[in-house]
Chain A
Amino acid sequence: MENQAIKMQRKTDLNKGYFSQFGGRFVPETLMPVLDELEAVYNHYKDDKEFKQELKSLLADYSGRPTSLYYAEQLSKHYGGAKIYLKREDLNHTGAHKINNTLGQILLAIKMGKQRIIAETGAGQHGVATATVAARFNLDCEIYMGAEDMERQALNVYKMEMLGAKVTEVNSGTQTLKDATNEAIRDWVRNVEDTHYIIGSVVGPHPYPVMVRDFQRIIGDECKKQIIAKEGRLPDYILACVGGGSNAMGIFFPFVDDKEVKMIGVEASGKGIDSGKHAATLSAGRVGVLHGSKSFLLQDEDGQIIPAYSISAGLDYPGVGPEHSHLKSIDRVEYHSATDLEAVKAFKLLSEKEGIIPALESSHALSYLEKLAPQLSEDEIIVVNLSGRGDKDINNFKKIKEAEKNV
């Protein structure tokens, strides 16, 4: 019944900010001009020599890039299968990959003449990475964080405050990342003239999913060079955890056309998908619209967003970046999930075997090694994106200990 003309028109419009049917810009009209501006400014500066140089030297001298690609010999021995490498994003300044994106976006905010920065945060890693660059570039900064997350990631709240940011507690809805994101969007609607919103993952309206992925792709670009230098070839597998999906997109993207490289995203299945308490959006969700883009989503029969659950605050999100939905739908990336218990087990194992305490988020990716590594032979290579370090989770140690008892 559908009119051909409309179909044609839609097709041309799909080019803008869409990955097949996923993405788009589903936001209040107030934000449309500022998204257009951001898109134009980003498109201009992404190829600008000076801008690229400035970002490159900040990534090198301020954040400590390139991060190493470390051969985890003890862990590899433990599983007795493939050779396991870790891409050490935990070694970045502020302890996670998040700063790759916040450095890029704050430079754009300055180009746009913005005085004020806002951000949402779940684990607090993105909040800290945002507060850090706001301090460095002397811009006002307000971070929205769910009340529940402020409790479980208290250390990061202190850090943000130390860095001069205002941390605003969000008490609406489920008091976690999705509600913090709603509040940040509402703030942006009110203060759109002088404020830039630094979204922390490959989610949100166009151009965020593209822009954040481009700022994070340095992970994969470096990784490619490093693995070729060390092994003379590309890896067989790349593993990354998926919350909104930025560390995963960052490491996956440069390998998308290398068909021999298999890629696996690991979501958080909390207490198990069947329990209903999970954050496995791609594994158990349906297509919908949240926070400005069309993607997989945890929602009930009435289209209400179902609160996500995970022991790891950074994965506790009912949506996922639209490009992941696309990569799933074309079968380029496989998506699996890991429970709280599996993540905690991997958290402990890496600490003990390699002397590296991983973030609980990253531990979800690590936990998939147990299924994968022993199946492979010694000459096969797995790279795991170690997206962050686990100091922030030590605060949660009691909870972790309890979970551990059940492992």
Chain B
Amino acid sequence: MSKIAAQFKDKKALITYISGGDPSLEMTEKLIYRLQEEGVDIIEIGIPFSDPLADGPVIQEASQRALKNGCTLKKLIEMLTDIKDKVKVPIVLMGYYNSVLNYGEKEFVEAIKKAGVSGVIIPDLPVDEKADLAYYLKEAALDQILLVTPNTSDERLKEISNSSSGFLYCVALLGTTGDARGPYPQLESYLKRVRKTAGDIPLGLGFGIDGPEKVKKFIDYPDGVIIGSALIKAITAGETETEKLENAGEFVRNIKKVLANYK
């Protein structure tokens, strides 16, 4: 079992997303330690990109802040490499395919392996595009987490869940990240359908999950929840660094309280 998949054992996992380098890599480092201390199960770190077309405004802006302050994929990987001995929680990089392609697919996998990263999510690289990336990740025993959406057919579900490792990212609604309309009204039947087809792989539910209320409402169906935009909003609302870190901590504690009641 991969380090990522192991985080779903006997509990509902909490997966949090922050944008790398927002507003600085030092802050990202501090947030990683804080989220780890608060008991987050998996940390996703966004690779900032100029044209994040699967993202809503909150993550778009976070990405812009990071780029404005000079964050690059190279610097992000260097930071992760520097701190790898202090990080026990599995780290997943989430970013757009052009960033990886530009870095070099083979070089990217080698570098993130050295940095102690456990897996990647590339939302604009569907399973059909048999990129070299999938091959190199497999060779390096790193997870590639693929996404399914409410309109994914059973046939595609089968193919995607077979190719996904670590967990299967179930997008809660037809929308971009942080979409406040969510989650999808037919969530129960959707996730039951995914479960039936996907077999044993853990299911993570994400997009538009904005706090403890929504988690409570939907936590029966998936094995874990993924929270990004709402956490970033809470962090950004803090004025000082201490306040930002405290906001992150409080946000996580409130979600963990809900999750503690479920197995």
Contacts and interface: CB of A to CB of B under 8 A. Distances in A.
Interface in A169-215: 172-173, 178-179, 182, 185-186, 189-193
B175 A190 contact: yes
Interface stretch (B99-107, B197-205, B210-218): B99-107
Given A30-B171, A302-B73, A190 B179 contact: yes
A305 B51 contact: yes
A2 B105 CA distance: 12
B176 interface: yes
Interface residues of A, number: 44
A324 B82 CA distance: 43
Nearest to A183: B53
B2 interface: no
Nearest to A13: B130
A299 interface: yes
Interface string B44-58: 000001111110110
Contacts of B149: 28-30
Contact of A189 (B54, B102, B130): B54
A32 B126 contact: yes
A305 B174 contact: no
Contacts of B101: 287-289, 294, 303
A6 interface: yes
Contacts of B103: 303
A371 interface: no
A189 B97 contact: no
Contacts of A297: 98
Given A2-B135, A26-B124, A288 B102 contact: yes
B59 to A, nearest CB: 12
B29 to A, nearest CB: 19
A182 B128 contact: no
A355 interface: no
A27 interface: yes
B153 A303 contact: no
Given A189-B54, A190-B176, A32 B135 contact: no
B10 interface: no
Given A2-B135, A190-B174, A29 B50 contact: no
Interface string B82-116: 00000000000000111101110000000000000
A8 to B, nearest CB: 10
A29 B174 contact: no
B176 A303 contact: no
14 contacts: A3-B135, A6-B130, A9-B130, A29-B152, A33-B151, A185-B53, A186-B54, A189-B54, A189-B174, A189-B175, A190-B175, A190-B176, A193-B151, A305-B51
Given A29-B171, A303-B99, A303-B101, 8 more contacts: A6-B130, A32-B156, A182-B51, A185-B53, A189-B176, A192-B174, A302-B73, A302-B74
Interface of B: 49-54, 56-57, 60, 67, 72-74, 96-99, 101-103, 123-126, 128-130, 132, 135, 146-149, 151-153, 156, 160, 171, 174-176, 179
Interface of A: 2-3, 6, 9-10, 13, 16, 24-30, 32-34, 172-173, 178-179, 182, 185-186, 189-193, 286-292, 294, 297, 299, 301-305
